[in-house]
């Protein structure tokens, strides 16, 4: 299970400490902030992100003199979805990055227009500020392709279905071709006719860090999981290796995408 972001846990811990110090019950804080006691408990445990309202109400109720309210600025600056924060931290230290994507163009290879389409249509709906912050963060994250020293070895396999949606337009397909020409990038397409059960089980990423730690990451609709468990890493490696053998070779994949561009 993916652990909640550190700032959630720290803010929740401080919320509980100040509430206890001021001898304010969880029920009193819940009533004053118009939340349920169970919600306050989840906020204090770091399971949910402390909201601006509850931080402001608790700050005044507990006499924190702005200390609790100050957390609002830090909580609002998170660039990535909570379930992906641990993965993003590991990705920054990666020397090797293998991935398979079954439904979308990989985030590291998305154009800004494609990324905005995905993020802007997130369910539940995100506010405009969050959308802009996450789009910018995704574009910034793509620096891993060319800016890391030493270069990161990247291998992508993309299921053909992800390239057949209208949003994977000519610009997006050309972006894939440009990335495939980089010395440290291998891009393969898994055609529909080569579908295997392993390819239908969803996306995955394998990372290896500078310290030779290996992580497997699986992102789902409702939850994501980053694991260093050797057995999980082994199974993910086997599944990804099987998919790579079924995918087109890199040069054939490039020609496949070029034909798609020609027919758009």
Phi first, then psi: give them for residue 30, nearest 5 degrees: -60, -45
Cα–Cα distance for residue pair 176/258, rounded to 1 Å: 10
pLDDT of residue 92: 83
DSSP string across the chain: -PPPPHHHHHHHHHHHHHHHHTT--HHHHHHHHT--HHHHHHHHTTSSPPPHHHHHHHHHHHT-TTTTTTHHHHHTT--S-GGGHHHHHHHTTEEEEEEEESSS--GGG--HHHHHHHHHT-SSPPPHHHHHHHHHHHHHHGGGGTTSSSPPEEEEEEEHHHHSSTTS-HHHHHHHHHHHTSTTEEEEEE-GGG--GGGGS--EEEEEETT--EEEEEE-SS-EEEE--HHHHHHHHHHHHHHHHHSPPHHHHHHHHHHHHHT-
pLDDT of residue 82: 60
pLDDT of residue 4: 64
pLDDT of residue 103: 95
* pTM, rounded to two decimals: 0.72
Residue-by-residue pLDDT tens, the chain, 264 positions: 445 677 888 899 999 999 999 999 999 999 999 888 998 998 899 877 788 889 999 999 999 999 999 988 777 555 666 667 678 778 888 999 999 999 999 999 999 999 999 999 988 888 887 888 889 889 999 999 998 888 999 999 999 999 999 999 999 999 999 999 999 999 999 999 999 898 999 999 999 988 889 999 987 666 678 899 999 999 999 999 999 999 999 999 999 999 999 988
Contact indicator for 201, 174 with CB cutoff of 8 Å: no
pLDDT of residue 1: 43
pLDDT of residue 131: 87
pLDDT of residue 46: 85
pLDDT of residue 89: 78
pLDDT of residue 219: 77
Residue 201 tokens read as 């089980």
């Amino acid at each position: 299970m993916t652990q909640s972001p550190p700032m959630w846990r720290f803010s929740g811990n401080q919320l509980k400490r100040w509430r206890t110090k001021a001898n304010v019950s969880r029920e009193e804080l819940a009533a004053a902030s118009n939340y349920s006691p169970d919600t306050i408990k989840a906020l204090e445990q770091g399971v949910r992100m402390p909201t601006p309202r509850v931080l402001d109400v608790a700050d005044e109720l507990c006499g924190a003199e702005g200390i609790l309210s100050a957390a609002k600025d830090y909580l609002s600056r998170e660039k990535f979805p909570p379930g992906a924060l641990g993965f993003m931290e590991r990705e920054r230290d990666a020397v090797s990055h293998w991935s398979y994507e079954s439904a979308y163009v990989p985030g590291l290879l998305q154009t800004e227009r494609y990324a905005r389409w995905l993020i802007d249509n997130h369910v539940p709906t995100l506010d405009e500020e969050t959308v802009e912050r996450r789009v910018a963060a995704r574009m910034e994250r793509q620096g891993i392709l060319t800016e890391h020293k030493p270069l990161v070895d990247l291998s992508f396999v993309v299921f053909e279905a992800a390239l057949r949606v209208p949003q994977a337009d000519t610009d997006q397909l050309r972006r894939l071709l440009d990335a495939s020409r980089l010395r440290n990038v291998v891009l393969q397409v898994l055609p529909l006719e080569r579908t295997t059960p392993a390819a239908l089980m969803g996306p995955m990423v394998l990372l290896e860090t500078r310290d030779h730690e290996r992580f497997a990451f699986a992102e789902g609709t409702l939850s994501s999981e980053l694991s260093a468990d050797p057995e999980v890493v082994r199974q993910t490696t086997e599944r990804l290796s099987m998919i790579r053998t079924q995918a087109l070779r890199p040069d054939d994949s490039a020609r496949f995408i070029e034909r798609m561009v020609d027919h758009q």
